[in-house]
Structure 1
Amino acid sequence: MAPKRATRSTRATTTPAPTATTTTTVTNAQLQAMIDQGVSAALAARDATRNGTDSHSSGTGVRGSERVARECTYQDFMKCKPLYFKGTEGVVELTQWFERMETVFRISNCSVENQVKFSTCTLLASALTWWNSHVMTVTHDVAYSMTWVDLRKKMTDKYCPRNEMKKLEAELWNLKVIGTDVVKYNQRFQELALLCVRMFPEESDKIERYVGGLPDMIHGNIVASKPKTMQEAIEMATELMDKRVNTIAERQAENKRKFENTSRNSQNQQQQQIKRQNTGRAYTAGSGDKKPYGGSRPLCSKCNYHHDGPCAPKCYKCNKYGHIARDCTSAGNANTDNN
């Protein structure tokens, strides 16, 4: 048994304002328990702040170390396939380059310090010449210390001058669907709307301009539906146009079938009529083998021949004019009447 510890007590004095003192005794076991409790609380608090990054205990009972994220290298950046920009593609391509580059930044975990350095490696042709001139003017350290936002603004001022933006705004304001090609209209409208952001301070303004460029065959239906977002308006217009195109194609196919049937019937009728005409000509030609008389002798009503004077004798053996039966040289049989 460990001896008890006693605190030094003070004796009461006869002073006018005496103070009372107490005596507290703490054993070694109690002191050790208090220390262990404090250590346990501290360990629990530390484990709670690790957010589950510790690995499971190994066979030796030693905890694994926390996983450290690997820094993005240039090879990692290029594996994400960023776009290249030459400086001659135009405003739309520059905007697409911006969007693709920001996507690559996110998926490659590119640090802020390397964004300008890595992104400018995708510049080619005149764009690369422009960037190298800028680096030579302000030195490498200053050029690569700028932020991505500063680089984006600098390139926008270079390749998106104000007169070009006015042309794009005018194109967007007058953009309409050509024929039934809504897909091409959607793509161009979204490209221009992304550049001309100041034309549409509200989403409703953009929807109104989009619906205004649709053809009359679907314009009324879109207006009546009152879409709330651009995506809803685009999907609705695409679906309605597909239905109308299918309906038009079906009508054209039906009209083509009707026309073919009508043409076939008409052709058959013409062929039958031509056949009847040819048959009539054949009969006419067969019955008209005898050439018409071209002389001046009168037509005899008795023998139906043209001659002067009395009719020539008729052979009752061969039924021909010009001779009698006894002079007939024909081997054919005589008619019953003649017999």
Structure 2
Amino acid sequence: MAPKRATRSTPAATTATTSVTNAQLQAMIDQGVTAALAARDAIRSTNGEDNHNSGTGVRRNERATRECTYPDFMKCQPLNFKGTEGVVELTQWVEKMETVFRISNCSVENQIKFSTCTLLGNALTWWNSHVRTVGNDVAYAMTWTELKKKMTDKYCPRTEIKKLEVELWDLKVKGTDVIGYNQRFQELALLCVRMFPEESDKIERYVGGLPDMIHGSVVASKPKTMQEATEIATELMDKRIRTFADRQTENKRKQDNNQQQQPQNKRQNTGRAYAAGTGEKKLYGGSKPLCPKCNYHHDGSCAPKCHKCNRVGHLARDCRSPANANTANNQRASGRLGKYCL
């Protein structure tokens, strides 16, 4: 058999094949696998057999949302509404109900059915009367927005809203109770939404009701939101209260120390007065010379001195001192005794 002429090209082909690296080979394999998976997903998607693949061939199981039932709705603890406390009660009921709708994933079709089950007392009587008037189908076909408007017209008349607006406009902090002021202001602000078209308007009204002791500091801080304004006001008032309490404690401590020192000072002052009164002699401050005879300061001759009472200024015959009277009585008594003795 004649030799093949292509023998020389065989080594060249072998050399070209072995020049492919392992990394390149792995990349070619991955590319082919990815293309095959994409083609398979496209075929299944066309046939309606979408398995929710993530692109890597791994199946993702998506959990279907379960429909909200009445027990599921009640587990979220919605508020009851009696219709006896006016605007505040209705506002709180509406806010809580909308929160329960979101948490329980309540469908739009069930919102009116489930929410009206929380009505009690006068509110329930009003709803039952409305159902009898328009019928079940019409009553339960209304939307949540329509129900809110109907209940607002019933339990929040315009006159009540005006009273709340006046209260909000005149609202101020009582004493140092900033926390109570914050709570009432936020409640009224939710009810009187038309008073504050902008957040800055609400902040200005809030700051206007703060006491003078913190008003300037809050204004200087320039709060941008209501939350920031309430936090600043509460913190400043807490500091003021602590400072006042510290001052009272310090004043009480000083007062107690003064009360303890007063008896000691009194005893010391009494000792000083006694020593000065018994041991010290008052010095003469005039300009008259000292008389060496009577040891008094005077001009001219010495004044007469009574030899009975030893006082200067009168003679013995003019002495009226009690000692002089006793001496005279004693002398008269001695004379009488001497007479009888003779």
Q: What TM bracket, shorter-length normalisation?
A: 0.5 to 0.7
Compared with structure 1, are the counterparts of its residues 153 and 261 closer, same or farther at alpha carbon in structure 2 (3 Å cutoff)? same
**2:315 counterpart of 1:299:** no
State the shift of 1:70 in Å: 1.6
- Return the TM-score normalized by structure 1: 0.65
Q: Is the 8 A contact 2:41 2:50 kept in 1?
A: no
In structure 2, how many angstroms separate the alpha carbons of the residues matched to 1:36 and 1:56? 11
State the shift of 1:225 in Å: 1.1
Aligned to 1:85: 81
Aligned to 2:42: 41
State the shift of 1:270 in Å: 7.1
Counterparts of residues 188-199 of structure 1 (less than 5 Å): 188-199=184-195
**2:242 counterpart of 1:246:** yes
Which residue among 333, 337, 340 is the counterpart of 1:308? 333
In structure 2, how many angstroms separate the alpha carbons of the residues matched to 1:36 and 1:208? 63
Q: Please give the per-residue CA displacement for 1:159-186, whole angstroms capped at 9, x wherever unaligned.
A: 1100000000001111111111000000
Q: Please give the per-residue CA displacement for 1:246-303, whole angstroms capped at 9, x wherever unaligned.
A: 11111111122223333444466679999xxxxxxxxxxxxxxxxxxxxxx96359xx
In structure 2, how many angstroms separate the alpha carbons of the residues matched to 1:156 and 1:273? 80
Aligned to 2:116: 120
Compared with structure 1, are the counterparts of its residues 47 and 232 closer, same or farther at alpha carbon in structure 2 (3 Å cutoff)? farther
- Return the TM-score normalized by structure 2: 0.64
In structure 1, how many angstroms separate the alpha carbons of the residues matched to 2:53 and 2:90? 42
Counterparts of residues 95-174 of structure 1 (less than 5 Å): 95-174=91-170
**2:178 counterpart of 1:185:** no
Residue identity matched to 1:105: F
In structure 2, how many angstroms separate the alpha carbons of the residues matched to 1:70 and 1:139? 30
SS in 2 for 1:84: coil
In structure 1, how many angstroms separate the alpha carbons of the residues matched to 2:242 and 2:261? 29
In structure 1, how many angstroms separate the alpha carbons of the residues matched to 2:156 and 2:331? 107
In structure 1, how many angstroms separate the alpha carbons of the residues matched to 2:38 and 2:251? 93
In structure 1, how many angstroms separate the alpha carbons of the residues matched to 2:179 and 2:152? 28
Compared with structure 1, are the counterparts of its residues 133 and 44 closer, same or farther at alpha carbon in structure 2 (3 Å cutoff)? closer
Compared with structure 1, are the counterparts of its residues 244 and 66 closer, same or farther at alpha carbon in structure 2 (3 Å cutoff)? closer
Structure 1: gaps of 5 or more residues: 1-34, 58-63, 275-296, 313-339
Residue identity matched to 2:84: T
Percent of matched pairs sharing the same residue: 67
Q: Is the 8 A contact 1:298 1:307 kept in 2?
A: no
Aligned to 1:50: 52
In structure 2, how many angstroms separate the alpha carbons of the residues matched to 1:159 and 1:237? 34
Counterparts of residues 193-208 of structure 1 (less than 5 Å): 193-208=189-204
In structure 1, how many angstroms separate the alpha carbons of the residues matched to 2:217 and 2:83? 42
In structure 2, how many angstroms separate the alpha carbons of the residues matched to 1:306 and 1:144? 133
In structure 2, how many angstroms separate the alpha carbons of the residues matched to 1:92 and 1:191? 8
Report the RMSD for the aligned CA atoms in angstroms. Answer: 3.6
Q: Please give the per-residue CA displacement for 1:141-176, whole angstroms capped at 9, x wherever unaligned.
A: 111111111111111111110000000000111111
SS in 2 for 1:177: coil
Which residue among 190, 197, 218 is the counterpart of 1:222? 218
SS in 2 for 1:299: helix
Which residue among 176, 187, 197 is the counterpart of 2:172? 176
In structure 1, how many angstroms separate the alpha carbons of the residues matched to 2:167 and 2:327? 97
Structure 2: gaps of 5 or more residues: 1-35, 271-323, 338-342
Number of matched residues?
A: 250
Q: Is the 8 A contact 2:52 2:61 kept in 1?
A: no
Residue identity matched to 1:250: D
Q: Is the 8 A contact 1:298 1:308 kept in 2?
A: no
Q: Is the 8 A contact 1:299 1:307 kept in 2?
A: no
Residue identity matched to 1:129: T
In structure 1, how many angstroms separate the alpha carbons of the residues matched to 2:331 and 2:136? 127
Compared with structure 1, are the counterparts of its residues 307 and 76 closer, same or farther at alpha carbon in structure 2 (3 Å cutoff)? farther
Instruction: Give the structure with the higher percent helix.
Output: 2
In structure 2, how many angstroms separate the alpha carbons of the residues matched to 1:43 and 1:209? 64
In structure 1, how many angstroms separate the alpha carbons of the residues matched to 2:185 and 2:38? 68
Counterparts of residues 262-273 of structure 1 (less than 5 Å): 262-266=258-262
Residue identity matched to 1:243: K
